[in-house]
Amino acid sequence: MKKILYTFLIFSSAILLGQKNSNVKFAICNGAVGTTEMFEPYKKDIESNTFFKATAKLPQHLQKFNYLAESGLTEIKFKKNTGTPDIMSLAALNEQSNIPKDARVMIDGYMFDNPNTNIYSVLVKRIEVKEDNGEKYLSIFTSDN
């Protein structure tokens, strides 16, 4: 009976925590995480964007983002001398939300374990503080839905 209960609890946790938004398309620019949608207003300033369909095809400098590449990953490069949106670390975002800076962060169902990961601040549309097994963490949503 205990095995069944534990299996159910683990399965429930995985379902609740792991609901990834399959519509989000992550993009990396200057080592920071964004979405292809948030870069739309900057089209005229983009020098190139390269889409990598398979995680095995990611170049070495993008390997650390392979957990975001289930549905592919886009690398964006801005033209020289072009300003980019503001960047912030997940640790800073945690601290602003009164959560330990080394806490994990979930973005659209994707778990970010490294608090030193940088994201573009325009990526954030909504933030909720959640708790799992007594640990608080941020859940960030990239759309208003």
- pLDDT score at 8: 41
Q: How far out from the chain centre does Cα 141 lie?
A: 9
pLDDT tens per residue across span 64-78: 999 998 888 999 999
Helices and strands (H, E) in the chain, number of each type: 2, 10
pTM of the model as a whole: 0.80
| pLDDT for residue 18 is more than 70 | no
71 Cβ neighbours under 8 A, 6+ residues apart? 22, 25
Domain ranges of the chain: 26-141
Closest CA to 105 of 126, 136, 65: 136
| pLDDT for residue 5 is more than 70 | no
- Are residues 13 and 23 in contact, defined by beta-carbon separation less than 8 angstroms? no
- For 16-30, what is the mean pLDDT? 74
Chain mean pLDDT for the chain? 85
Q: How far is CA 2 from CA 6, 7, 10, 134, in A?
A: 6, 8, 12, 22
What percentage of residues in the chain have a pLDDT greater than 70? 84
Tell the burial category of 21 from Cβ atoms under 10 Å away from its Cβ (0-12, 13-18, 19+): middle
